[in-house]
Amino acid sequence: MKYRIGWSIGMICFLLSAARAQQPWQNPAVQTENTLAPHASFIPAASEADAISRKASPNVLSLDGMWRFHLSPNPAQRPDNFFSDAFDVKNWKEIKVPAHWQTEGFDRFIFTDVEYPIPVNPPFPPENDNPVGSYRRSFQVPDNWNGKRIVLRLGAVNSFFYCWINGKYVGLSKDSKTAAEFDVTKFLRKGENTIAVQVFRFSDATYLEGQDMWKLSGIERSVELIARPQAGVQDFFVKSLLDSTYQNGIFQLDVTMNAPAPGGRLEVKLLDADGKPVFRQQQPLQQQTRYHFETGLRHVKSWNAEHPHLYTLLITQFDKNGRTVESIAQKTGFRTVEIRGGLLLVNGVAVKIKGVNRHEHDMHTGKVITVQSMVNDIRLMKQYNVNAVRSSHYPNSPDWYRLCDEYGLYVVDEANIECDGMYFHPSKTLSDKPEWKEAYLHRTRRMFEANKNHASIITWSLGNESGFGENFIATYQYLKSKDDTRPVQYESAERNAYTDIICPMYKSTATMLEYVRRWRDRPYIQCEYAHMMGNGGGNLQDYWDLIYKHAQLQGGFIWDFSDQTFKTKDKQGRDIWAYGRDMGNVGATSDTSFCADGLFAADRTPHPQAFEFKKVIQPVTFAPVPMSANSIQLTNRLDFTDLGAFDFSWSVSRNGEKIAEGKWGPVDVAPRSTKTLSFPLPPMDGTSEYFLTVEARTREASPLVPAGHLAAWEQLPLAPKDFQAPKWNGRSATYTENEQTIRFSGKDFEIAFDKKSGWLNQYVLRGEEMLLSPLEPHFWRAATDNDIGNSQQMRCAVWKDVLQSAQLTFIRVDKNAAGETIVSAEHRLPAVDAVYQSQYRVMDDGAVQVNVEMKAGKSFQPELPRFGMRVLLKGKFDNVSWFGRGPFDNYEDRKTAAAVGLYRMKADSLFHPYARAQESGYRTDVRKISLTDAQGHGLAAYGLPLICTGVLHFDMNRLEFDRHAPENVHGGSMTNDDMVWWNIDYKQSGVGGDNSWGATPHAEYMLPYRDYQYSFILRPAAP
């Protein structure tokens, strides 16, 4: 009896579990119901002319706009029968479509990087915390659609939905980044119709959509009704290739009809850029549904990212009376992509991929984006020398691929598959689970079928960060069976047979070097590298030095193109970039700024690292010619463009001031070739610092890049001469000394040293005290996001408050060998087992030469975040001018794009407002810098020969990161204090950027614990 009871209870549990598993939103075996087979993305037009012009089609009815909307907390409480005509929704709220319901004021925002936004229990989403959005609206079918087949297209719905028309069940679908289509002809009626869509925030699909992005919900792309003929073009696949000479075209086209259409005919045209036909062929429509067209074309204009020549394919269906049924236009480009000899070749050339990853993101509407915003993104990419984009990590809007075709970008198109969150589950991945195979194939099929006709797509990607298993073998084999014109890649396949490109992520330069120690069978292109979180972007020059040096290192894709933040206001009404918990109650791992890791802010204003990336991948590089003072060598880094497309100019500066300039005539340099140019060298004295600056600007405008656009530049020193600080007058200032103070005085100045602390603590000019704090050693910096990721805050914490335990050994006035008065001080720094020695030479014009040295002990200590000094000035001294690198933030490992020059700006403008407030306001290789008031009076510092300097118009301690703080701290909230924080440094550690979760800056850009010394001059600044 006990056995039977036990068996019964077990059976009941099993049956309940089985019943539970049958729900479509919990079942990976159910991906769609009643959807049409995936096919090429296109909108048919009423005529060829309309198809070519992309005129709004009378056969398309948009259902975008305002819908009635109700949000339920979970599936059990979703409204029953709301899709019925009898159900009254007039008291429901309204919502825009397309839109996320979160951006419209419903439900909470969630951002996660690795972890799922739900408890991990695949395939089940949570039962209680799974909001369901119910949508409804009415519409009328145009009268002239009578007799046509009506297709409902939902562009993207996140993450699972049911659909009804006029109360009748239509179907369901998953995959939130590809379109779902239904034949709804039989459900429609004359007059008013209703459509109802019920969207689940979480479903089994959530386990395959674990990308590092905002987990937002709703109808994300447009909803349309499309009127089609009963028998019409269902699908087509165009292959526009080049022959082995890469000069002649091979055109192949397969067209599939949804049903036989005997008696009519199918006409195919291929038009060149001027609209002239280069190919035309007709075939009668008979009982079969598949038709093939093929031809060869001599001397075609090939497509590549530099010259995206396109032809227009027209597929027109005529009825038996010769009338146009519908016409389809598709841009196509002749190009060949292949892996041969261990290289990725485009049209026979081993291109360098200067790529970015890009999420679809708008600072107000999330993943609901416009065509204009896409054009703006491509404009930025073209102007910042980017030639490739990875659709991370899902198929994008169909318009994106059309625009990449048109403007020229190489695209890696990626299936909407990421189950990285499974790492925290015993299963580790879903990629080896047979019950998920159909879900993997479903997403891969939809991606391929929709986007297969785009010339810009040169590679398919199986997904992202999902481990490896049989499911990816299946999707790889599927793509290879369907498309012989493109390679297939997948990062987690590593070096096995199921990736045609070795495409790791966040590998170091050392790992890259290991790969090219011998020739391999596949190229090496990092699918993600150089994580741009916060103040990062270091080491880019190092990466690209290697990439240009080694043929099989063919580039990579920066993470990320833009921040995924939202523009909002802080409590004081200031603009900030919201992240994590700023947007409400988010997941446990979401209260960091991992959504802010782009080259550009969410409004597409550049971060400093964007300029660095543009510079290191620029299309022309310049180098000095050995043994020649007035020659430079140009290298054309482009793959298909002669340098005749640019105008070249040069200028020479002396101590930052331009003294000569000129232009070269046309410079014709073939792709990947070099040329030497000469210029007239102006007279140079032996006491000044001279630089040559060379620029390459676009000669003619292209669609997104204006004429005169600065595409490349370089600055080269003309003479190995350091900048010379002003000469001393040779006289020491007079001084007095008592028990508390050593005081120097002269005309209009007083400088004093505190004998108790041992630091310079007064600097009076014209009767006004300049300082709010002593000039003290400073070893700390506010943590960057990368610092937090590699635990620098904890590892180097000993350097933060070194002076609290500093012990003054002595301070005294000495005479040096030249008889000059010197103030010498020595401090023991027991916290770091070091001795700090400082010398000050005060002259009678108020100048002070500062020489400092730190002698390291024998104990182990962590690296120094910085070695320098810090002083606080009154807030009125907020006009900053400097001769050094600028104008934007630069650091030891991110200064290639920062030219040496004369710059001037307000103190608060030196700080860059990253989403999370952090270290900023820094400039390297500074010869001189002055901080002055409105009348031009203040203090100046001169490097002997160089210093680095940081300027903030507020207390740096406000930037400190506290993971337990009740609120996020934003760069946009950093208002001015009545002071200026001024660092005068030897150096600061680099910012790093290999990744943001453990990688430190490269060793050559760090400050290991050892002896340091440097010198600078402080002196009065005057108008």
Could you give the residue numbers annotated as active site? 465, 528
Determine the 3-state secondary structure of 337 from DSSP. strand
Question: Strand (E) positions, 106-191?
Answer: 111-112, 132-140, 149-154, 157-158, 160-165, 168-174, 180-183
Torsion of CA 191, 192, 194, 195, to 10 degrees: 60
* Closest-CA residue to 472 (of 531, 418, 396, 534): 418
299: which residues sit within 8 A by CB, 6+ positions away?
A: 247, 248
802: which strand partners? none
Residues in the chain: 1023
Residue 912 · residue 888 · CB < 8 Å: yes
For residue 719, give the 3-state DSSP assignment.
coil
Alpha helix (H) residue ranges in 874-958 = none
Residue 859: asked if its preceding bond is cis (omega within 30°), the reply is: no
User: What are the b/e assignments for 753-787, b being 16+ CB within 10 Å?
Assistant: bbbebbbbbbbbbeeeebbeebbbbbbbbbbbbbb
* Location of structure tokens 């990336």: 613
Tokens 């009127």: give the residue. 227
Report CA-CA distances (Å) from 453 to 236, 237, 456. 8, 6, 9
CA distance 881 to 905: 6
CA distance 758 to 777: 11
Half-sphere exposure of 157 (CA within 13 A, CB side): 24
The residue type found at 346 is: V
Are 436 and 471 within 8 A, CB to CB? Answer: yes
- Name the helix (H) or strand (E) containing 408: none
CA–CA separation, 767 and 787 (whole Å):
42
Residue 571: HSE in the Cβ half-sphere, 13 Å Cα cutoff: 3
* Closest to 1020 measured CA to CA, from 719, 765, 712: 765
- Whole-Å CA distances, 747 to 751, 764, 874: 11, 11, 22
Provide the 8-state DSSP code for 342.
T
Q: How far is CA 469 from CA 41, 204, 414, 422, in A?
A: 30, 19, 17, 14
733 vs 177, 491, 679, 765, CA distance in Å?
Answer: 74, 67, 48, 14
Distance from C-alpha of 35 to C-alpha of 161, rounded to nearest angstrom: 12
- Strand, coil or helix: what is 573? coil
945 prior amide bond cis, ω within 30? yes
Q: Strand, helix or coil at 888?
A: coil
Specify the residue for token string 């039962």.
127
> CA 945 to CA 932: how far, in whole Å?
22
Contact 674, 620 (CB under 8 A): no
For residues 979 and 955, give the distance between their C-alpha atoms in angstroms, rounded to a whole number.
Answer: 8
> Which pair of tokens denotes residue 562?
């833009």
| Residue given tokens 């104008």 in the structure block | 887
Please name which of 498, 547, 507, 548 lies closest in space to residue 527, comparing C-alpha atoms: 507
Q: How far is CA 551 from the centre of its chain?
A: 25
Question: What single-letter DSSP state applies at residue 993?
Answer: -
| CA–centroid distance for 575 within its chain | 21
